Amino acid sequence: MNDSAEADSPILAGIPSNPIPAGARAGHFTTPDNVRLRYAIFPRGGGAPRGTICLVQGRTEYIEKYFETVGDFQQRGFAVATFDWRGQGGSQRLLPDPRLGHVHSFDDYWVDLRSFHGTVLLPDCPPPYYLVGHSMGGLVALFAGFRDRMMFERIFVTSPMVGLDRLPFGPGTVAAVTETLSFFGLGRLPVARKADRPASEMPFAGNPVTSDANRFTRNVDVLRARPDLEIGAPTVRWVAAAMRAMARAARDDFPGGIRIPVLMLAAGRDGVVSTGATEQLGLRMRTGRHMLVPAARHELFMETDAVRAQVFAAFDAFITEPSG
């Protein structure tokens, strides 16, 4: 059972530089394993109705960060439905320290998405349904395409977390090490460097996510207005889960197992996930492909107007092209 509220409730946080899109409805739903997640639905704007975008975020992100992007989809005739993953944003935190990013398994995110699809998307949003994911959400989206070809018509992802550069070993080896640490009771320890800072305290200069100062500042302002939405370092167990998922995505059977149309956008200046891994996966897909956005940093939807224009041009062409 959903509990919902109007947009002027505290469920969603709007600030002058980041207003809540028109017509928003927000509330909470509970997953089969009893985790309470926050969601929001936004009606389409002008034009003929085109269905619903199911928008899934990256690690540390939250619904408010995508208000501008929601508006872009609304203007194209789409409704938008989105939610915060377990352990982040306005959803239930999983540890006594609410700032730690934690899951036991990457399958927990599949539980979140599948529950959202059945509890909110199908009963409350107009079809057809398109899945749009970023970074960690992009990897979950690809697994959705691998596991169930009927949930979504198409999948569009930006900077998917299918690999990381500068790892000392392959993701399978890192997963084995961190799983061992978790087995010995260290799974809830944070994985962070002394120099790491919360997103609300990160300076624009040298940041790895966007070259647009205004959008960077806007996202910082949202977190300062709603510090409860922020999370920091991941735990050892989260790292184990993520590495195991990336190792699974690198297996030979994964690209061919995705049997619905997919477009992955890779950022040419990505300092967070591996652009090369995205390109390699795109070359191995049967029903998918990749495109490179050369000037972009990791968060393509938060980038400059010029970069975002390329992102939405790619999206528009992909959504309207014939299947098959």
pLDDT tens digit sequence for 153-174 = 999 999 999 999 988 899 999 9
Identity (one letter) of the amino acid at 111? V
Q: How far is CA 53 from CA 43, 221, 291, in A?
A: 10, 26, 20
In the chain, domain spans: 3-320
Q: How far is CA 34 from CA 37, 98, 101, 120, 202, in A?
A: 9, 17, 18, 16, 34
CATH numeric code, 3-320: 3.40.50.1820
What whole-number percentage of the chain has pLDDT above 70? 96
CA–CA separation, 14 and 42 (whole Å): 14
CA–CA separation, 310 and 287 (whole Å): 22
Average pLDDT over residues 33-45: 97
The per-residue pLDDT for range 143-152, each reduced to its tens digit, is 999 999 999 9
The per-residue pLDDT for range 46-98, each reduced to its tens digit, is 778 999 999 999 999 999 999 999 999 999 999 999 999 999 999 999 999 99
Closest CA to 137 of 48, 55, 237, 239: 55
Average pLDDT over residues 100-128: 97
Average pLDDT of the chain is 94
Q: Give the pLDDT score at 9.
A: 45
Question: What is the band of 324 on the pLDDT scale with cuts at 50, 70, 90?
Answer: low
263 C-beta neighbours (distance < 10 Å), count: 21
CA–CA separation, 88 and 109 (whole Å): 12
Say if residue 195's pLDDT is above 80: no
The per-residue pLDDT for range 253-307, each reduced to its tens digit, is 999 999 999 999 999 999 999 999 999 999 999 999 999 999 999 999 999 999 9
Q: Give the pLDDT score at 197.
A: 77
Q: Give the pLDDT score at 38.
A: 98
Q: Are 260 and 153 in contact (CB under 8 A)?
A: yes
Say if residue 8's pLDDT is above 90: no
